[in-house]
Structure formats: structure tokens, C-alpha cells
Structure 1
């Protein structure tokens, strides 16, 4: 890819993760950003470096997705290869990671989703404390669909609003085998029953 195309992809993904009305996949990575705006930027060298380092469209897209998830601000100076490498490692080992993150909760599973007095549910606290990953939240939501309930119970909560926005936007880039994770979760629960 040419550096200018990397820039346009960055802009489209930034819009995806920051704007409610834009979806990168729906619009096939197209946005209203002009090609001319690239030449006005002072950080063109970053896009040049990315275009030379990564070979394919998908690899560059994944690099940006990993960094937008790690750096919610979308500030390009904070994007780095470590975020991408960590993300790839997590994706490659996710069955194990999911199992390890969920195992402590399966003995008493239902209460981790309960919202009491508009306080954050236990599962959300675990995510905010970095003991549960965003991917685990997404998988559990795909299986149990708890976010609609949380949206009603925590309608005025800005922390949940931001977390849910990231969860919904990131979910679009994940392919989750619901059947496989459902079986995995049921097996974990059966261990403690």
C-alpha cells in the first residue's frame, strides 16, 4: 500500500472508533477525507514507515485496530508495534486466555452481570481493573447479550458509555465462533457443578 492509502485507512478507522454514525466495514473503509489532506500533515513519515513495514491491507488494518483498542484517543504518536504484537499474541491464544479469565467466576456466574443501584457490575469492574480483557467481554456479550440490560441500568454512566462504544465498535472486527465458546463456557461451568 502507498503511504497515502495507509493515511486514508487510518482516518477511516479513526472515524469508526470515534464516531457513532460511521462503520468502517459498512463503508468499506471509505471516508470523506481528501487525499490532499495527507500532504498537509507533519507526520507523513509514520504512514510511510507503516506502508513499508507491513505488506498487506489486512495486516495494516489489524495494526490500526490493535492500536485504536489500546490507545482510545487515536493519537497516532502513541501507536506502536508492541500494541500490535500483543494483540496478535492475544488473538492466537484466545481460547486459553478466555478460559483463564472466566474460570474464577464460573462457580458463582450470574452475579457478575448484576447491576445494583446503578453501580458497575462485577464483570465491568474486572475489565476496568484489567483483569478481564475486552475480547472476553465481547464473547460473553455475544453468548449472553447482557449489554442491552446494562445500557438500561447504567444509562447515565459515562464510563459504561465509553466502554460499550468501544466494545460495539471493536466487535465488528472480531470473528467469534459462538458455538465453540458456548461449549467452552458450559464445560467450565460444569467443572464447578
Structure 2
């Protein structure tokens, strides 16, 4: 069973066909993180956690996150899972992230970033270190943003970018509507693989 933002029950068929304004929007919107592949896996997960927290916590309109409440067969709740596809990409180096961040900001897309000055010491130390570091010397470890699929695809379908989709399967990331349908099927008890693999997309 799925529950919308207002506490209304949504059937799997509603979810797959996109009935309702919020669910219809979920088929067109996506959340994207682009991570620096030079960073080791453990610290990179920390970067991703900070990016997702900032992206969700600072969004002006929280209803845009489309958070769903999942219930399993025993009635236990698995709360606050966004129906929007979550796409994770990898960049070869910091300058690619810097350039992508600038392009997104040029068209007023909100971007959350994580740079090297945020990795050691407490918050006060990190704030001071960042303020003392010229922008050109910042090493970008990751950025995150969200928006409509048509707009974001023009930024993320870049040559030599490794792509991971939120279903964790190899190949082109599935359409948002298919991913929402997959979530609906999972809510009805169907299992799925959590294995991750990467592919390269080109323009």
C-alpha cells in the first residue's frame, strides 16, 4: 500500500498510471547526484549522505519530494521513500563537477555541492577553511540537484560519464514511470535485485 502526502491511500494501478498531480509529477522529475570517482568508496558514501540531506532539507517546497509511506505484508511501515528516480553518476575529476555546477546555476537549477574543505575537523574549522580557500582551488567531491527529466538529461548525458540508476541494473536508466511502477510492485510484495553496476552513456 502507498500513502500520499495527504495521508490518502494510493493503489498500485494509480501509481503506475500516474493518476494525481503529485504522482504525475514524479514520472517527470528526478534526483541526480554526480560523484568524483577519485574519492574512495567509504568517504564517497559520506559525501553522498551530506548531499542528499542538503538537497532534501533545503528544498523550498517539501511536497516536491513526493515521499511515500510503504507498508509490508505484516503492516510495518517503511516511511519517507521518494518516488522520484535517484540517478547516481560519476565524474572523472573535480573540474567536471565545477563546470556542471556552473552550468546548472546559470539556468537557476538549485545545486548542493561538497568540496574538500568540508572533510576534516568540526563544522567551525570547515567553515573557516572553506572561507579561506579561493573558489578556483576548491576540489569538488560531489554535487546533487533535482528537476524535470527533460531539462536534466541535457546536462547529465555527457560523454564518458558512468551512470548508475536507482534500480541498480546495468543499461540505460529506466524511465521514471517504469521506476514508479517498480516501486508499486515492490509495495505489493514482489522482490528485486539490489546489485549495482555501471554503464557509460554518450551523447
- Which TM-score band applies after superposition, normalised by the shorter structure? under 0.3
Structure 1 or 2: more strand by fraction: 2
The TM-score normalised by the length of structure 2 is 0.22
Structure of higher RCO (CA pairs closer than 8 Å, 6+ residues apart): 2
Structure 1 or 2: more helix by fraction: 1
The TM-score normalised by the length of structure 1 is 0.23
